[in-house]
Amino acid sequence: MTMDRLAGPDTPLVYQIRIRGHLAAAWADWFAGLTITLAEDGDTLLTGPVVDQAALHGLLKKIRDLGMPLVSVNQIPPLGPENQTYKE
């Protein structure tokens, strides 16, 4: 295991979801809790904590419902030197 649960089972994991096209600022409330960043290459990055797999699937469903192509979904490692990865 590598960074799946560094801070405990109740700590949300942070994800970065990349979608093709720029998402209008009006959609920010629909993706509450996520930071929306418009990338220079025309993509949108949605970044933030996701409490569990069901919530992640809910976010992906919202993206599907918008009709925007999904480019990638990545778990972001925790920041800071105090958060070291471990292997099992």
pLDDT tens digit sequence for 2-56: 444 455 666 789 999 999 999 988 898 899 889 999 999 999 999 999 999 999 9
Q: Which residues of 5-36 are buried (b: 16+ CB within 10 A; e: fewer)?
A: ebeeeeeebbbbbbbeeebeeeeeeebeebeb
Residues 6+ apart with CB under 8 A from 82: none
pLDDT at 81 over 90: no
- Coil, helix or strand for 80? coil
Give the burial class of 55: count Cβ atoms within 10 A of its Cβ; 0-12 exposed, 13-18 middle, 19 or more buried. middle
Domain assignments of the chain as residue spans, ordered by start: 13-76
Tracing tokens 């919530």 back to the chain, one arrives at 55
CATH topology for 13-76? Answer: Alpha-Beta Plaits (3.30.70)
